Structure 1
Amino acid sequence: MRELNIANHQFNYIKQQADHLLHAVRTVADRQVLASTRSGAEANVLSLFPELQGDERERLILISRLERAEDFKHYLDDLERYRTEFPPISKGEILKLFPKSKKLAIPDLARIDWKTLTYLSWLDVAANRTYIVYPLDGRFVGIEGRMTPANKKSYCFACNGFEEIGLFTAVSKKKPANASPDYYKALGQYLCLHGHDCNKNMTDTTSLEKFIRELIE
């Protein structure tokens, strides 16, 4: 039996479902429509943990029975204790991910709320580089690139949130056979300018993982 361990993007997804359902409870008069919305929220939340059974499964499906705003708050507060932290990583391990970056400025790891991270990122102003650390297939990978502010709000490719964005451009590590020594290929995506916004909005890691794989595999 699988235990309930909720990653950051999964918790955000559950919260998204709860917010949607609360809005329906407040605004939908048709009982059949509301019942359908309740069952949909329950099914969506359970889809994150298909092997979950027993009390922990019951804890999740409570979402379909909530009525008042305080009920939704208590539901999410209860799930907080099941949130898992970003896998532990040390300053030394981060440095090894970026061997070509000399004098790499790393954020203060002691001040990070690891439960709220899907990926770790920071801007090195002096080097004009943005760095991303992500646990892919059980191992950490490091991506570095340039972040060019777009000076506007739009949708982020990774979290689909409407935030201040920038064009994040990184050089692919893949090279075709018989490529010339100076060959390179850059890939770019519009990403949240601030990593904490992106992590707050993240409900699915598919787009981010696809982009990372395109760069390293």
Structure 2
Amino acid sequence: MNTKAFIRCDQYNFIKHQVKNLVSSYSIVKDPAVLKAVAFRSLDKVMNLFPEDEYDKAIFDKIPEIDGEIQANFFLEELKPYVIPFRSVSEKTIEKLFPKAKKLKLPKMEEIDLKETSYLGWYDIRSERKYLVFDYNGKLIGINGTFRNTTKGICSLCNSLEEVALFMANVKSGKETYTNRGNYICSDSQKCNQNIKTLDKLNQFIELVKR
């Protein structure tokens, strides 16, 4: 029987976060009633991510039973087949998204887990630019920009405290005028993807810098 994927990568990260918090509660809380309340609150938060007719409730019924890392890891592995992977992207497609980039160094797609990817991001040391690929409203969008001023701060994509740098894209703002737009984003795009628990900030960033 085929498994129907219905969980976005960011939703999977949110579920993972809830499960880890639940496991952590068992190390600091001893009251069974409190632990039960925490477990069912986590379950409610997860189920509220999806319309009721979009999934089989039994998929998440194991959450209140999780009380340790082994159970948590087993549950998350069982959930992985339901995760929608980022669209498979060929080198030719990436080159079409960035037609002006010459001798573009591409990411090693075989090293990327597409089920842990909400966007593709890599730094090209030759051009000293950061390249981003988003699947936005069913369409692939490629955005590149300068990437400087590394510091510790809040990433505008994943909303987490990480090592970030200022990404600035040159965006067309009129018939013959351009303006620089951007914000601080994670230096490590893989870690950034693992931190994304909602697409809200990511979509706001796309709206800010898309062409």
With normalisation by structure 1, the TM-score equals 0.87
1:109 alignment counterpart: 109
In the alignment of these two chains, the number of paired residues is: 209
Q: Equivalents in 2 of 1:61, 1:31: separation in Å?
A: 18
Q: Equivalents in 1 of 2:45, 2:58: separation in Å?
A: 14
1:201 to 173, 190, 195: 195
Residues 5 and 84 of structure 2 are in contact (CA less than 8 Å); yes or no, is this contact kept in structure 1? no
User: Could you give the per-residue CA deviations for residues 5-54 of structure 1, whole angstroms, max 9, x where no partner exists?
Assistant: 22221111111000111111221234443333222211111122223467
1:36 alignment counterpart: 37
Q: Equivalents in 2 of 1:173, 1:136: separation in Å?
A: 19
User: Could you give the per-residue CA deviations for residues 30-83 of structure 1, whole angstroms, max 9, x where no partner exists?
Assistant: 4443333222211111122223467x3212132122223322122112112222
Q: Equivalents in 1 of 2:58, 2:133: separation in Å?
A: 34
Residues 158 and 196 of structure 2 are in contact (CA less than 8 Å); yes or no, is this contact kept in structure 1? yes
1:127 alignment counterpart: 127
1:14 alignment counterpart: 15
Secondary structure at the counterpart of residue 52 of structure 2: coil
2:39 maps to 1:45: no
The 5-angstrom pairing of residues 177-216 of structure 1 reads 181=176, 183-216=177-210
Moved more, 45-54 or 164-173: 45-54
Residues 3 and 52 of structure 1 are in contact (CA less than 8 Å); yes or no, is this contact kept in structure 2? no
Q: Equivalents in 1 of 2:52, 2:102: separation in Å?
A: 45
2:87 maps to 1:93: no
TM-aligned CA deviation for residue 145 of structure 1: 0.5
Aligned partner of 2:93: which letter? E
The 5-angstrom pairing of residues 49-60 of structure 1 reads 49-52=50-53, 56-60=56-60
5+ unaligned residues in a row in structure 2: which ranges? none
TM-aligned CA deviation for residue 162 of structure 1: 2.0
Aligned partner of 1:134: which letter? F
With normalisation by structure 2, the TM-score equals 0.89
Secondary structure at the counterpart of residue 58 of structure 2: helix
5+ unaligned residues in a row in structure 1: which ranges? none
Structure 1 runs of 4+ with >6 Å offset: none
Aligned partner of 1:111: which letter? E
